[in-house]
Amino acid sequence: MPKEEELLKMDAEGVNETPAAAETEGGKLARPSDVLPGLLHILPLANRPFFPAQMVPLVVDREPWQRTVEAAVESGQHVGLVLIHGDDPQTAGPDDFYTMGTASRIHKVVQLDDKLQLFVEGLQRFRIASWVTRERPFAVRAEYFPETSYKDMPELKAYTVAVINTIKELLPLNPLYGEELKYFLNRFGPDDPARLADFAASLTTSDKQELQEVLEKTHIRERMEKVLVLLKKEVEVAKAQMQIHKNVEESMEKRQREFLLREQMKAIQKELGIAKDDRTAELDKFQARLKDLTLSEEAQKRIDEEMEKMSVLEVGSPEYGVTRNYLDWLTQLPWGKYSKDKLDLKHARRILDRDHDGLADVKDRIIEFLAVGAMKGEIAGSIVLLVGPPGVSKTSIGRSIAEALGRKFYRFSLGGMRDEAEIKGHRRTYIGAMPGKFIQAIKDVGTANPVIMLDEIDKVGASYQGDPASALLEVLDPEQNRDFLDHYLDVRFDLSKVLFVSTANQLDTIPAPLLDRTEIIRLSGYITSEKMEIAQHHLIPRQIEKAGLKKGQLRIEADAVREVIERYAREAGVRNLEKRIGQIARKAVVKILNGTRPPIHVGVKNLEDYLGKPLFKPEKPQQGVGVVTGLAWTPMGGATLDVESTRVHQGTRGFKLTGQLGDVMKESAEIAYSYISSHCKDYGAKADYFEKAFVHLHVPAGATPKDGPSAGVTMATALLSLARGNRIARPVAMTGELTLTGQVLPVGGIREKVIAARRVKISELILPEANRGDFDDLPAHIRKGIKTYFASHYRDVAKVVFPKKK
């Protein structure tokens, strides 16, 4: 390989020069190196053509073009630079070259590993007249186009001024143009139109085809016209870039400087129509959600503020995630979206009758509630509280109400809830903050007027984290919940169209202010006939399907169902009854899989094979001196309560109580003892019976806590029976609160107590006179066969249990 010094050796003899190029334009003798040869070696250009008067470094691959460079240096340091059609100069052949190029002088050659860097100066246009060598190193016969004097063409003055003025427009838009212009003016003057046109073309960022057209314009006026067009395009591109830059700077002044690159990208994407970034896509998604919503002015303002905030936050910052989640919640809430209510009472009655057997009074109360809504045209601002023992279909009634109205249904339990934030949400200052249950329910159902069921409202707790029951006051108050404020949203949401249905087993543990906001509907326990219907219509088919049995594979006789109700599932509700039926179904499946051919018949005789020994024996009220049957209410429904009294000895006066009695019940016993002691003579007993008697009063079962004032009448009757030495005339159950003056006061739970009496087949009851209305309100099938005596004073009770002999 020749050394670099040999490559740089100049051929002073000017071999193969053309006669026309032997002297310069002024007629003076030229240097040998200025004489252009007729035979010219050429190098390819891939990106843009090279113009006369340019002086730039050119880098070529050494392997394919080293021999061409050596030959060019040896032949007078002249080389032809010609643009190719394709993009790969290494594989370029004679057919790939354009016909017009620029003859250039090689000033220096530097070897850079596998590259050669040539410092070349453009001299003159030439056209490839013919190919001398079609293999590397390429050599062509060149036809030159020297520039002449244009002093005799005054019209070029206007083109020259136009080009100069356009270049002046470019100078403020890009400082690099200024450096290029200084370099040009140091070598040429502005009155040289040919050099000026070529210089102006080289300034532009036009594509190679347009620049090649300029190179091929040998007529100066055509060349100037073409250059002016390219310059104008360049000015427009530069102005667009400047406008983008200006927009970015203005945005940067309003926001923080560290977002410069991101804002530039946004501006460029907007200008060029490139796809959106993640943030823009999120914001557009939020905007699309808002199209079908009717937001309050407060909510719209907050969303606009948060979107503006999100648009400037860094995507990776924690605040961005918080803001995005907040906007996600705000835009998913059904602002102003309401489902249309079906205020058809017949339709509602069909739904209730289909889903529930019995409960006629409850259904009537719900129909009345819906009727009022139909009259008003809407059901809003109502809170229904269903109170009753477990397993009496409180939750399913709420679901039926929602279906009857055509509303969405959402249920969540308040049992054991101790954190106020579960109701009103967490503030956004906490990590993992979320809205409260009510806002979550509204989002899940997708309408602003669903039926929301609050289960176990009587079991809400309180702790150091707040009092959820107090937080419920705002939610369940029709005057306040139209502007319900969740701590997470921090925007008021209208809950006034929501129908709240809550359930409870008892009212004692519900705060009075909360209870005052509800409309109470009581559900008492089912009687045996109602349980029979529920079992046949709902429980048995459901358990057969749950066990995987087909219809007809298991048959439970009606008498067997009644036996299950009375001896295995005596509670007020039907939950335990369903468990027993499920137990029968599972054992039937085992039998079928073991080879027994269906159908499996279950009757009274073989019921113990499925359920074992009965849990309850037929109850018979105890009878005897000092023994009286009372009626009690429990969270599980009504129950009978035998009160026993006996005289321990006659040594001293005394009174003893047992049976795990509460304070109120102990006071009732003391009142009964005092009243009977002071009125023995009035009721046919010895006046001094209790003077020397130590009396023991017991209320079975001793392991069960008992409390309440309603056993006062029962205890007094037991003590009177003991003092008289007579048992009561016939099986009678009684309830009522007794005062020291013998007044009988009203008590609660009349329906449950009447059902309990029916269960043990007691047909005569003594109730307080003040509870006459409660008894009359009971369904006819519950009152049927029951003889009731109403007492306003204990004398009325004594007349029933100890009638005078005729």
Beta-strand ranges (E) seen in 146-212 are none
Within 8 A by CB and 6+ apart from 431, the residues are: none
Q: DSSP character for 462?
A: -
Is 634:589 a contact under the CB 8 Å cutoff?
Answer: no
Q: Is 710 a catalytic residue?
A: yes
Sole residue written with tokens 């020297």: 146
- Angstrom CA distances, 194 to 52, 157, 165, 206, stand at 9, 12, 16, 19
**Type and span of the H or E element at 42:** strand 39-45
Which is catalytic among the residues 311, 710, 787, 805? 710
Q: At what angle do helices 318-332 and 278-290 cross, to 10 degrees?
A: 20
Nearest-angstrom CA–CA distance, 345 and 369: 10
Q: Token pair of 704, please?
A: 């069960």
Nearest-angstrom CA–CA distance, 749 and 735: 10
Nearest-angstrom CA–CA distance, 525 and 508: 18
Preceding amide of 599 cis, omega within 30: yes
| Beta strand 637-649 pairing with 694-698 | antiparallel
**Type and span of the H or E element at 178:** helix 175-187
Beta-strand ranges (E) seen in 428-526 are 451-455, 484-485, 492-493, 499-504, 519-522
Sole residue written with tokens 């809830």: 417
Beta-carbon count within 10 A of 366 CB: 22
Within 8 A by CB and 6+ apart from 667, the residues are: 709
Which is catalytic among the residues 208, 408, 531, 753? 753
Beta-strand ranges (E) seen in 576-699 are 600-602, 627-634, 637-649, 654-658, 694-698
Written as one string, the DSSP assignment of 354-419 is HH-SS-HHHHHHHHHHHHHHHHHT---S-EEEEE--TTSSHHHHHHHHHHHHT--EEEEE-TT---
Burial tier of 52 (Cβ tally within 10 Å: 0-12, 13-18, 19+): buried
Nearest-angstrom CA–CA distance, 600 and 405: 41
The Cα angle at residue 512 between residues 463 and 507, in degrees rounded to 5: 85
Backbone dihedral angles phi then psi of residue 745, each to the nearest 5 degrees = -100, 155
Written as one string, the DSSP assignment of 747-788 is -S-HHHHHHHHHHTT--EEEEEGGGHHHHHTS-HHHHTT-EE
Backbone dihedral angles phi then psi of residue 515, each to the nearest 5 degrees = -65, -30
Q: DSSP character for 619?
A: P
Nearest-angstrom CA–CA distance, 499 and 534: 27
In our burial notation (b when 16+ CB lie closer than 10 A, e otherwise), range 633-652 reads bbebbbbbbbbbbbbeeeee
Nearest-angstrom CA–CA distance, 12 and 73: 11
Is 674:740 a contact under the CB 8 Å cutoff?
Answer: yes
Is 79:31 a contact under the CB 8 Å cutoff?
Answer: no
Q: DSSP character for 538?
A: I
Q: Is 753 a catalytic residue?
A: yes
3-state secondary structure 343-361: CCHHHHHHHHHHHCCCCHH
Catalytic residues: 710, 753
